[in-house]
Amino acid sequence: MLFKFPWLIISSCIVLFAISGCATQDVKGKTEKPIDKQKLEVTIDPLRSYEECFTLFETQHLDYSFETPKPVNFNIHYHAEGGIFYPVSQNNISVLKGTFSTQEEKHYSKEQEYFCMMWENPHDEHVNLTCTYKVQSK
């Protein structure tokens, strides 16, 4: 008798997860709270990449720096109508420090506030990455 209507239990769970997931995403997407300073220490597998994504509103900027023992390819990119855009792109570097702001981006819109930093390891061996970054209000 307990499992007479399993589809009802399963569909109720799916609805609850969907509702709670949407509410969480909506709240996260609307905050302009700066991200505290983050420190990454990761190992990038051979011939692979590592990506760190964040929300950046037009009233904020990203300060970042990183270093690796071997040169990597680095970019900051975002997806917008019309494709993927790379406002920052540097190849074959092991150290970089910079600031990124959305003010110069012609494809940026208020709906587009999700950006990613990506490091590509072109080597046949692991590469250690150390990065610090912080999203701040202008």
Burial state string for 39-68 with b = 16 or more CB within 10 A and e = fewer than 16: eeeeebeeeeebebebbbbbebbbebebeb
CA distance 136 to 35: 7
Residue span of the structural domain in which 12 resides: 1-30
Regions of the chain short of the pLDDT cut 70:
1-35, 104-112
Please give the model's pTM, rounded to 2 decimal places.
0.71
109 and 61, same structural domain?
Answer: yes
113 and 61 within one domain: yes
Beta bridge partners of 40: 131
pLDDT for the residue 64: 97
Read off the CATH number of the domain in which 87 is found.
2.60.120.680
pLDDT at 20: 33
Is 15 in the same domain as 63?
no
Q: Which residue has the tokens 């692979």?
A: 48
pLDDT score of 107? 57
Domains: count for the chain: 2
- Residue 10, pLDDT score: 37
Q: Which residue type is seen at 135?
A: V
